Amino acid sequence: MAETETVRYPGLDGKTALVTGSSKNMGRSIAIALAESGANVGITARSDRAGCEETAEAVEALGGETVITLGDLGKPEDIESMVADVRDELGPIDVLINNAAIRPSVPFEEITLEEWQHVQDVNLRSAFLLSQEAYRDMKPRGEGTIVNVLGLMALQGRRTKAHGVVTKTGLIGLTKTLAAELGPNGVRVNSVIPGRKVKTERGELTPTERENFRKLEEATPLRRRAEPEEVASVVRFVASEEASFVTGEVIKVDGGLNTCMDIENISV
């Protein structure tokens, strides 16, 4: 892409970004958005190498360097290996995007301790460990950004999602605490919350799913669901020097759904 066509954000050009869960959907859009601003990107997934390769191709087409590293975020040893791969190929981490998550649907009374712990490990503990690793790179240089990508479940109760909701709410606490503690060393930490049912790859929808999407769009003041790129652009903004005095914030990108849900507009 020519220089005049590239959307540039101060502080991202030539930086190393690690984006978890970037083999498809939101993570891929975030990786591409960062690459549009000159960042090199560590691309991760648990096992989807083919998807990671597609993301890498898109990033490299924009002039960015990439490394693909696979691993299970529920395993600390895999996290260490993933971070090491990014450092070895792209250099110290400047930008960390904690995007990957699992959201199993299980009735509260049926959630086993093993299932509960697995969701905590993948969604919350991994963000803690990755942030620790990234901070080791950021602290000596006196700069860096961490962005946690959540979901509206962080602000709302959600049936059959007790273990997932708790992790997302916990990430808000982690965001604010790290912003307070890491800020004196020049590191900013924020969260971005996409709206429900962002337009990602979902395969063939059932009639019930299509109807639910229709009602969701009718309840949203902007009358539609978000495109992944719309969320990615906010993540990029928060990670850039354009947001140099923004930290500890939880920023919603939900078309007004959480703040002013238009219940009266939903037809039955």
pLDDT above 60 (res 219): yes
Per-residue pLDDT tens digits for 131-189:
999 999 999 999 999 999 998 889 988 899 999 999 999 999 999 999 999 999 999 99
**All structural domains of the chain with their residue ranges:** 3-202+227-255
Integer Cα distance of 156 and 128 in angstroms: 22
The Cα 179–Cα 145 span in angstroms is 10
Position 225 scores a pLDDT of: 76
The pLDDT of residue 257: 80
* Banded model confidence at residue 6, pLDDT cuts 50, 70, 90: low
Q: CA 200, 240, 22, 248 torsion: positive or negative?
A: negative
Per residue in 60-114, pLDDT (tens digit) is 999 999 999 999 999 999 999 999 999 999 999 999 999 999 999 999 999 999 9
* Sheet strand arrangement including 250-253: 66-70, 40-45, 16-19, 95-98, 144-149, 187-194, 250-253
Q: In the structure, what pLDDT confidence band is assigned to residue 4 with cuts at 50, 70 and 90?
A: very low
Q: How far apart are CA 54 and CA 51, in angstroms?
A: 5
* Least confident piece of the model among 19-23, 136-140, 200-204: 200-204
Q: Quick one: how far is CA 166 from the chain centroid?
A: 17
What confidence category does residue 255 fall into, taking pLDDT thresholds of 50, 70 and 90?
A: confident
DSSP 242: G
Q: Which CATH architecture has domain 3-202+227-255?
A: 3-Layer(aba) Sandwich (3.40)
* Residue 14 pLDDT > 50: yes
